[in-house]
Amino acid sequence: MYNKNNHKAVSKEHAEYIAKIKKRKLLIRLTQISILIIFIALWELTARLKIIDAFITSQPSRIINTLISLHEEGTLWMHISISILETIVGFILGTAFGTAIAIILWWSDFAAKVADPYLVVLNSLPKVALGPIIIVWIGAGPFAIITMALLVSLIVTIITVLNGFLEINPDKIKLLQTFGATKLQILKKVILPASIPTIISALKINVGMSWVGVVVGEFLVSKAGLGHLIVYGGQVFKLDLVMTSIFILSIAAVLMYQFTAWLEKKLIKWQN
């Protein structure tokens, strides 16, 4: 914006400096890509030379073949989209409910104090342990899986966002009070806008959390989705299928993370 205008004239030294930084960045990126390529190549090569047992370790070319055959069977997209959908709903609900509860706890200091020990216990409890109970209560289906994804991220979200609220400089609130602001105005004008970065970072973390919930949920329900493919592949000893699912899983997770990073940029436009 306004900074750019100031940087029009670049001296020779400055240009050299920029070139140096850029070169370094490029080198880092190239090294990263090379590591990946070498890893895949070694994997393929050692499997072909029968140094490793491709039956157990799978191999890149088999993964591609599995991808193609899954695609031809027509079930690939079904599994992928079910998992992605469950994850998205899970992390959005987890973040939304978590933020809503954090707002309630911010509003009532009494409620926050009362809830404190429960939050501590629930936070240290591995939520996936509740899986079987959830399935019994809700039924073995996508709703149980979404509930798992939600639960995994809910408590952390409440704690992170509430702490974010409480860390806001009290003088910012005092400033609003001098204008005679009501509690609702304080919430809308300071607490929420000041916490957007916190909420988005919670959202980012929740993407990963939600995947954990979904995969474990699909392990347990085992009807559809990438988690189901992994469990099924393991049971029938089709390690190609397991590896392929993990491969898709990582791509989907990365894409979702990129999306939240993009969202962050959009929403926090006052930071460059």
By CB under 8 A, tell whether 181 contacts another protein: yes
Least distance (Å) between residue 176 CB and another protein:
7
- Residue 32 identity: Q
Which residues, at least 6 apart from 127, have a Cβ–Cβ distance to it below 8 Å? Answer: 148, 151, 152, 155, 213
Residues 256, 87 contacting (CB under 8 angstroms) = yes
Q: CB-wise, 83 or 198, nearer to another protein?
A: 198
Draw the binding track, 183-212, toward another protein (x: CB under 8 A; -: no contact).
--x---xx--xx-x----------------
Least distance (Å) between residue 177 CB and another protein:
6
Residues 110, 131 contacting (CB under 8 angstroms) = no
Residues 177, 91 contacting (CB under 8 angstroms) = no
Least distance (Å) between residue 125 CB and another protein:
32
How many residues touch another protein under the rule CB under 8 A: the total is 23
Which tokens hold the place of 218?
A: 């699909």
Residues 241, 63 contacting (CB under 8 angstroms) = no
Q: Which stretch binds another protein (CB under 8 A): 95-103, 110-118, 174-182, 212-220?
A: 174-182
Q: CB-wise, 75 or 169, nearer to another protein?
A: 169
Draw the binding track, 153-172, toward another protein (x: CB under 8 A; -: no contact).
----------------x-xx
Residues 1-20 that bind another protein (CB under 8 A): 1-3
Distance CA 43, CA 230 (A): 20
Q: CB-wise, 138 or 181, nearer to another protein?
A: 181
| Residue 84 backbone zone (phi > 0: left; psi -120 to 50: alpha; other: beta) | alpha
CA 206 vs CA 91, 95, 210, 221: distances in Å: 6, 7, 6, 21
Question: Residue from 166, 176, 187, 246 that binds another protein (CB under 8 A)?
Answer: 176
Alpha helices in 10-141 (DSSP H): 12-48, 54-57, 60-73, 76-107, 109-124, 131-138
Least distance (Å) between residue 77 CB and another protein:
40
Residues near another protein, by CB under 8 A: 1-3, 169, 171-172, 174-181, 185, 189-190, 193-194, 196, 268, 270-271
